[in-house]
Amino acid sequence: MRIAPDQRLSRLTTIGAGGPAAAFAQPESLAELEEALRWATERDMPVVAVGLGSNLLAADAGIDALVVRLAGDLATVEIDGDLLRAGGGATNAVCLHRARSAGLGGLEFACAIPGTAGGGVRMNAGAYGSDWAAILQRALVVSADGSGWRTPNELGLSYRHSELAPGQVVARVEYRLSPRPIDEIKSDVADLVARRKATQPTNKRTFGSVFKNPPGELGAGRMLESCGLKGYRIGGAVISPRHANFIENAGEATSADCLALMAEARRRAREQYGVELEHEVVLLGVEGSRTEGA
């Protein structure tokens, strides 16, 4: 199990910002993952699991943590009847492709989520009226204290949230899907992809949605748009001209630039609507935030 020092998080996140992690490992089996977690525990070092890095914003100064990215056996996908088994590092795109080929529906919404099975569990990712809680049968959670399978109820899944603690890594996932004609799956996925491309900056470097939608009919994007924030820029980061709940790396953006935009967005939403927006993106190493994976 090779553990490398000083891995830059700008290379591991979709926004392309963030300083170095103290250590980095790519475990390819449960044994290697457990070894990496023991290594971190012996050094009293936090653990952060990073999938495709699509929901993360890491401090420019870096983080004093072991970053793990699951690979090998922990990123495989297999079908067993109407059950899809995936490693925590398996991408949503591969899971959806395998499900479609097997004529299994239920994962179509995941075409809008550029992440991994494990990351989806951690944040109960969702889009277009569905989420992980709707399809998840159980997940294998590994920590330095041991491992065990957990159901959605035991994971405490709610809107963009789970009860997983920092240092707990989702190593395997099982989805319960339903038989569906392949042509219907393809048609729905094509429609969802077209809708996403029409409304979101899919060809830009972002970390996905910035804020959770607040209660009520007005979503975070429309709220921030009405606050006049589309195209608002600080440094190398800009609030997307296409969708105001996205921040784009417009060229050499720093995490500090992104955080400044987030602070301005929250200020305007508070002043104009009396709403305290809650960030959906996971903040790593940022003052006042927890160090956790995604």
Alpha carbon distance 13, 138 (integer Å): 27
Q: Do 190 and 135 share a structural domain?
A: yes
Hey, which residues are catalytic here? Answer: 160, 209, 280
Q: Do 17 and 77 share a structural domain?
A: no
Q: Do 264 and 246 share a structural domain?
A: yes
> Number of folded domains in the chain?
3
Residue 291 confidence (pLDDT): 38
Residue 290 confidence (pLDDT): 42
From 143, 166, 197, give the residue that closes a domain.
197
Q: Do 133 and 110 share a structural domain?
A: yes
Task: Give, in degrees to the nearest 5, the angle at Cα 283 between 58 and 271.
Answer: 125
Q: Do 18 and 118 share a structural domain?
A: no
pLDDT in tens, the chain (294 residues): 799 999 999 999 999 999 999 999 999 999 999 999 999 999 999 999 999 999 999 999 999 999 999 999 999 999 999 999 999 999 999 999 999 999 999 999 999 999 999 999 999 999 999 999 999 999 999 998 889 999 999 999 999 999 999 899 999 999 999 999 999 999 999 999 999 999 999 999 999 999 999 999 999 999 999 999 999 999 999 999 999 999 999 999 999 999 999 999 999 999 999 999 999 999 999 875 543 333
Q: Do 193 and 77 share a structural domain?
A: yes
Is residue 294 a part of any domain in this protein? no
Alpha carbon distance 286, 198 (integer Å): 32
Count how many residues are written for the chain. 294
Residue 105 confidence (pLDDT): 98
Instruction: For residue 18, give the amino acid letter.
Output: G
For 268, the domain range is 211-278
Q: Do 225 and 187 share a structural domain?
A: no
Residue 288 confidence (pLDDT): 53
**Do 209 and 280 contact (CB within 8 A), yes or no?**
yes
From 135, 170, 197, give the residue that closes a domain.
197
